[in-house]
Structure 1
Amino acid sequence: MDRANIFHISQHNKKRGKLLTLRKFFKAKRNQQVEVYFSIGTESHYKQGKVSTVGRDFVMLTNLKERVWIPYTVIESANIVYGIPTFSNTHQHYLYDNNLRAKLLRQFGETVSKRDNLKQQFFEETLQTNLNTWKDTWVNIWFDEKVKKLGKISSSEENLTITMLGKKEEIAFEEINYIETIRWFSLFSYGFKHYKNKRTAT
């Protein structure tokens, strides 16, 4: 019945049907390895990683090197990784202790807000609300295949605010095509190049 409903929605609204299909797929593969094909501008890209967070309008993947945020609007397709076995959804194997059960019944909001895994179970975060929990994280943000911004997440309210060398810049969420965390070595290299160019100019 669920599949039939998604198919019916897709016939009348392809954009909405695609979003629901992707969300359902990633929820079923939470904490498992997937491969995602997506586009930034006119260029196609590929990313493989573990499904860490499934939001209302994005998915977060993690691997040994980085953490990435991919909006559903740029995703072309998503699959399980060939050669890696699939497992049943992790929520089927949760151990519910009486203490947690009592807290959920009596202090639902406070209990859920303190645990990311519970927030993902009960609420569908948007990219905006999720990035708000990653303040002071250094990221690269892609707008298209040629334009990207580097900075530290400062706030995530009406727009995403990043800080770089003491300067703040606001970015509209609808302009974001892809976000990835930056490794310290890459950040150091960027700072060294900026310092070198500044000295050359003077």
Structure 2
Amino acid sequence: MREGNQIEDQLKSPSSFSSPTSAVSIEETRILSEYINQKNLFNVVNRDETRRKPLILKQFFKMKRNQEVVVTSVLEKDVTVTTEGKVSTIGRDFIMLTNLKKRIWIPYNAIETANIPFGFPSYSNTHQHFIYDNNLQQKLVLQFGETVAKREALIKQFFEETLQTNLKSWSGMWIEVKTANEVVYGKIIETTKKELLVQVFKSKKVIALDDIRFISTIGIIPLWRNVLKSILKLSIL
């Protein structure tokens, strides 16, 4: 009877953990898990070619989280732009890169290639990891929903955002938006399931999310420089 009570106490104890996930060593389990995940990924993309590009890109960026990457994206036919930055947010349909000057959003459907810069190691250093607390693993095992909901970084890691939901969280940010047909400067006002609304002074511009090829934050000086160029072009015309 006493033994049964001990087992019940252990189950109720907040310090208890789930049983091991494998009969082999931890390092072998980790290698096996990565192998299974990669096999499953290629089984999916080989059966459904429409999912190949976003799934492969997501997996690549997850392997390079917090590391430097080089992304070549297509703005329009025969016009590409190469961007280098650190992988910040991996979304369902986009990637966000950061560098010393700005944040950059690139939809997966606009990406032509993704790679690591020449001469950079293919692993992150210790300064590129976030330290939450020593009990994080225990909290994730026993109180997953409550723990993740309290931390923005964990929400982004476990629940893949769309471009629309991510841009919504940056409302009020000044950005430069490039589509296949135009370049728009403005402040993020609102995002819907299909459109991005930006504002420059008193005028507003609606941009279809499917048309977006590239977005980056922009400082005040570059913003004014580009606005003046646009005004000059209009006056000449």
Normalised TM-score (structure 2): 0.72
Q: Which amino acid in 2 is paired with 1:62?
A: T
Secondary structure of 2:122's counterpart equals coil
Shift of 1:28: 1.3
Aligned to 1:39: 74
Q: Are 1:188 and 2:188 matched, yes or no?
A: no
The residue type equivalent to 1:108 in the other structure is G
* Equivalent position SS for 2:221: helix
Q: Deviations over 1:103-152 (max 9, x none)?
A: 9966935x5455331112221000001001111111111111x4111110
1:20 lines up with 2:90 in the alignment: no
1:176 to 197, 208, 212: 212
Task: Work out the percentage of aligned pairs sharing the same amino acid.
Answer: 39
Q: Is the 8 A contact 1:30 1:89 kept in 2?
A: no
Cα deviation for residue 157 of structure 1 reads 2.3
Structure 1 residue ranges without an equivalent (≥5)? none
Q: How does 1:121-140 map to 2 (within 5 A)?
A: 121-140=157-176
Give how far 1:69 is off: 0.3
SS at match of 1:177: strand
Contact 2:140 2:148 in 1 (8 A): no
Q: Deviation of residue 44 (structure 1)?
A: 1.8
Query: What is the aligned residue count?
Result: 198
What secondary structure does 1:185 align onto? helix
Question: Deviation string for 1:69-90 (max 9, x for gaps)?
Answer: 0000111111111211122598
Per-residue deviation at 1:175?
Answer: 1.3
Conserved 8 A contact 2:66-2:124: no
Q: Which has the larger radius of gyration?
A: 2
Q: TM-score, length-normalised on structure 1?
A: 0.83
Q: What per-residue deviation string (whole Å, max 9, x for no partner) do you get for residues 20-60 of structure 1? A: 11001101111100011111111122111000100000000
1:194 to 1:16, Cα distance in 2 relative to 1, 3 A: closer
**Aligned-pair RMSD on alpha carbons?**
3.0
Change (3 A) 1:193 1:95: closer
| Structure 1 residues 75 and 192, CA gap change in structure 2 (3 angstroms) | closer
